[in-house]
Structure 1
């Protein structure tokens, strides 16, 4: 069954007016829209205010004479001032909410040629927001005026995805936004790319809190700042980027730093302090390591997020601040909630958009593009081009991608490594000798931060029991602890095997890394599934 065409539009108090037979020599938009041979307007919802009754009667009669099959329904809309935006929008909104739209049987055209400019704007906005579920129709007079000439009409569909050029522009803008968040680094990791794609869409559409989880040095602070810069470039944010590592403040200091204080609120409070929440008004507040906040500060923060206002310490006057929150943590906040160290209501409030950023070892394929990015940044900062020659690059990448490279500090370790090599480079040339010295430094660094025999036994005691761990030689304890750590950082048993046997597997015609690793674990009565389940 063909749908009926229904036009909704205001009567034009000037454009639709006219008296006597000479009115037919004038182009009148509402009447002209019903005169086109190629369209059938089945019903015209003719909106008008109380002062236009006489004109409406004339328009109804004229439409009946040129299009007898068109039913005209006059609809009075109470407007005292058709140029008052608030009044016009409210009146049209109420009309749209009460109108019995029947989308299965009728198509709706929203006529925006008549009415004041304010009326036309409000009709456009309500159609764009789908309160008027139809298409805009715009009419124009004929180039040569003559009796019965209806002029032209254009239908405008606000589903922009239907316009190829516009869709391409929006698509290009989205791609540029994603590249911006990654600083132009050609990220190869599928998981990280998916995360950034969604963060880009959320960042430009929402002011809701975002929670970034992941190990220290995974790039949470960097990404939060890029989100701010993206929103600022799109004119979606006016204020500052304010950042605080919550692990650096405790007690009264934490509350004062975040919420400010009044003079004399506590010993040492010699003057008023605005606090970071106030400084972040109309901007973005990044609270890294939010899990380190005390329960009292968490309660105050929840109220500030929900109410957009809070009381500085020692003050009776509320302060308002409209900010967007991005929180970072290297802890599992759901476990912190279960342990009573983090408020369940605050976790629920900031857990709307949660993203777990993978560490550098989980993004091994991204080490090389990030290495190039950091080398370029170092070169620009120091005013001299710094490069790795082919042998040096191969040497560095072979180590960086191997199980020996622990990257405990994630991208901070990589940044520090590039900085050291760039500083030692003679005339900008990073040689293989410099790389090998850097590898030695990294190994020593991770060894100091890693698990020597005692630390390995502590971890092994959790995996296999204290008694069994105590029976191991120190050499076996360190080796087994490293194997277990690699298993927990890998996607599968085969992935862990490839990392652990990356050199020896090349000598085998048909390497079975998974079977080889399974047999190694079995020597200590361990299984892959149990190891990974304990870590999750």
Structure 2
């Protein structure tokens, strides 16, 4: 392949027209003085007022490397060669107009010459792929000044693949682990799917200010994760405002708009003074709207405008108020279904649906119960100042129960937190014994029990969803399995949630999970649909 060098004229370092110029290091010419570095073509970029210097450099290149074809390209940075926007735009236009032949030519971009602004622009264009090739820099010996006589020039090719730089790679990997650990509150989670989810959230949290939607059942940790994202953005992203959290299920009637958007004095009965509203409190910070699916349609319309325009009207005011906030929304509903039924605005969903992350229930990541158990004990210690731990037999007994498939954990991490709090409070001398564990297991089972259900099989009568002919064609084994599936479908709110619970173990062994599709195909075998089971 042909080798092509693209570079900028060095108005000072490349200068010189008398014979003495050969005694000094000149970065562009020096790249043609290496026996192991042969060039087929030089593309030299220069402003028109440096035509004389540029022509001298081209002549000298032809003298030391007669086989090299040289081309001069005139560029203009306008009146300010130190304006990044102007310089970048000029070099960008040149690169877009240049015909690259990557199948037959290899390109190198010389970043030693030119102003710092021009060098930054070359780097950015190379990073974006607009100016393809490898970066190359030339330099004099470490002990030589740029104009010292008899230099021994050097060069180095810069590979932007950081994985090839062990120390840099290790540093970046360490930082990545620190960030993901921060989002997980230092919990050494083992569930592969959850860990992949946190890695994606880390990338989005540090690179995007767009709204984030956290979905998942109540108690899955949406509120806790939202606060960790805020703290991470405040540390790394420069957020200056507060973390403002509100559960939209608590905003009802006429007070909902007032709480979110504020009101003016006298706008309604009881409005005795102005109220700023939560959106204004979140200016420069992060607003977490939990259970956003419970928000009224009027408030949804006002929120959409606030997201798009960063302005809104307080209740009773005709003067817009500005608030530049970032949004994280949480829900345990299927908002797509809510759009179909008219309970949620489609345009608002489109606005907050750019980054959606589904947090799994605790029952779907049972291997994480053990590390979360230690976290809950530590949290209890921090809040009470009392050191509490399990004895060996008690911990094994609790984990055997907690990780068993029939332990529902319907309240998710709220159930786990409550269980640890109760056992730690009752533990004599700070040691949780088997007695406290057995008592807590009984309490949890009673909490999970629903009156009228005598076990999962009794909770569902297949005759209610299938006719006699269909039932007669199903093996007894399949009846037991189908009974469980129907019970789960009736209990949860969405097809995806049901699929995650039913395939809780096997889904972790798949590289790609589509629990909803798997469940839909299973039900289709029996001519059943999830929607009909919910009726």
Q: CA deviation at 1:465?
A: 5.7
Q: Counterparts in 2 of 1:47-58, with a 5 A limit? A: 47-58=45-56
Unaligned runs of 5+ in 1: 469-479, 497-526
Question: Which residue among 399, 420, 423 is the counterpart of 1:421?
Answer: 423
Question: Which residue among 294, 301, 304 is the counterpart of 1:302?
Answer: 304
Counterpart CA distance in 2 for 1:71 and 1:314 is 74
Q: Return 173-182 or 151-160, whichever deviates more.
A: 173-182
Question: Which residue among 321, 324, 327 is the counterpart of 1:322?
Answer: 324
Q: CA deviation at 1:146?
A: 8.2
Counterpart CA distance in 1 for 2:114 and 2:502 is 70
Look up the SS of the partner of 2:45 in the other structure. Answer: strand
Counterpart in 1 of 2:18?
Answer: 20
TM-aligned CA distance change 1:454 to 1:421, over 3 Å: closer
Counterpart in 1 of 2:286?
Answer: 284
Q: Counterparts in 2 of 1:517-528, with a 5 A limit? A: none
TM-aligned CA distance change 1:398 to 1:148, over 3 Å: closer
Look up the SS of the partner of 1:397 in the other structure. Answer: helix
Q: Return 208-217 or 229-238, whichever deviates more.
A: 229-238
Counterpart CA distance in 1 for 2:298 and 2:138 is 62
Q: CA deviation at 1:260?
A: 2.7
Q: Counterparts in 2 of 1:404-483, with a 5 A limit? A: 405-447=407-449, 450-452=450-452, 460=460, 464=464
Counterpart CA distance in 1 for 2:99 and 2:365 is 55
| 1:383 counterpart = 2:385 | yes
Question: Which residue among 60, 83, 87 is the counterpart of 1:62?
Answer: 60
Counterpart CA distance in 2 for 1:410 and 1:314 is 41
Look up the SS of the partner of 1:244 in the other structure. Answer: strand
Q: CA deviation at 1:20?
A: 1.6
Look up the SS of the partner of 2:102 in the other structure. Answer: coil
Counterpart CA distance in 2 for 1:188 and 1:225 is 22
TM-aligned CA distance change 1:248 to 1:75, over 3 Å: same
Counterpart CA distance in 1 for 2:501 and 2:426 is 39
Counterpart in 2 of 1:204?
Answer: 206
Q: CA deviation at 1:459?
A: 6.5
CA contact (8 A) 2:248 2:292 kept: yes
TM-aligned CA distance change 1:275 to 1:126, over 3 Å: farther
Counterpart CA distance in 1 for 2:501 and 2:417 is 29
Counterpart in 2 of 1:106?
Answer: 105
Counterpart CA distance in 2 for 1:297 and 1:323 is 17
Q: Return 28-37 or 481-490, whichever deviates more.
A: 481-490
TM-aligned CA distance change 1:298 to 1:174, over 3 Å: same
TM-aligned CA distance change 1:194 to 1:535, over 3 Å: farther
Unaligned runs of 5+ in 2: 469-481, 492-497, 506-524
After superposition, the C-alpha distances for 1:63-122 in whole angstroms (9 at most, x for unaligned) are 222222222222222122222333322322332333323322222222222222222222
Counterpart CA distance in 2 for 1:490 and 1:12 is 64
Look up the SS of the partner of 1:6 in the other structure. Answer: strand
Question: Which residue among 214, 222, 225 is the counterpart of 2:224?
Answer: 222
Q: CA deviation at 1:356?
A: 2.2
TM-aligned CA distance change 1:290 to 1:491, over 3 Å: closer
Q: Return 23-32 or 167-176, whichever deviates more.
A: 167-176
Counterpart in 2 of 1:332?
Answer: 334
Question: Which residue among 7, 10, 20 is the counterpart of 1:9?
Answer: 7
Look up the SS of the partner of 1:83 in the other structure. Answer: coil
After superposition, the C-alpha distances for 1:469-519 in whole angstroms (9 at most, x for unaligned) are xxxxxxxxxxx99896468768798989xxxxxxxxxxxxxxxxxxxxxxx
Counterpart in 2 of 1:41?
Answer: 39
Counterpart CA distance in 1 for 2:135 and 2:316 is 56
Q: Return 29-38 or 182-191, whichever deviates more.
A: 182-191
Question: Which residue among 362, 372, 375 is the counterpart of 1:373?
Answer: 375
Look up the SS of the partner of 2:113 in the other structure. Answer: coil
Q: CA deviation at 1:379?
A: 1.9
Question: Which residue among 187, 190, 193 is the counterpart of 1:188?
Answer: 190
Counterpart in 1 of 2:140?
Answer: 141
Counterpart in 2 of 1:170?
Answer: 172
CA contact (8 A) 1:493 1:528 kept: no
CA RMSD of superposed structures (Å): 3.4
TM-aligned CA distance change 1:385 to 1:105, over 3 Å: same
Counterpart in 2 of 1:125?
Answer: 124
Look up the SS of the partner of 2:288 in the other structure. Answer: strand
Q: Return 19-28 or 284-293, whichever deviates more.
A: 19-28
Look up the SS of the partner of 2:428 in the other structure. Answer: coil
Look up the SS of the partner of 1:427 in the other structure. Answer: helix
Counterpart CA distance in 2 for 1:185 and 1:165 is 26
Look up the SS of the partner of 1:191 in the other structure. Answer: helix
Number of residue pairs the alignment of both structures matches = 491
| 1:255 counterpart = 2:246 | no
Q: CA deviation at 1:140?
A: 0.9
What is the TM-score when the length of structure 1 is the normalising length? Answer: 0.82
CA contact (8 A) 2:219 2:411 kept: yes
TM-aligned CA distance change 1:316 to 1:131, over 3 Å: farther
TM-aligned CA distance change 1:66 to 1:338, over 3 Å: same
Counterpart CA distance in 1 for 2:197 and 2:527 is 27
Counterpart in 2 of 1:94?
Answer: 93
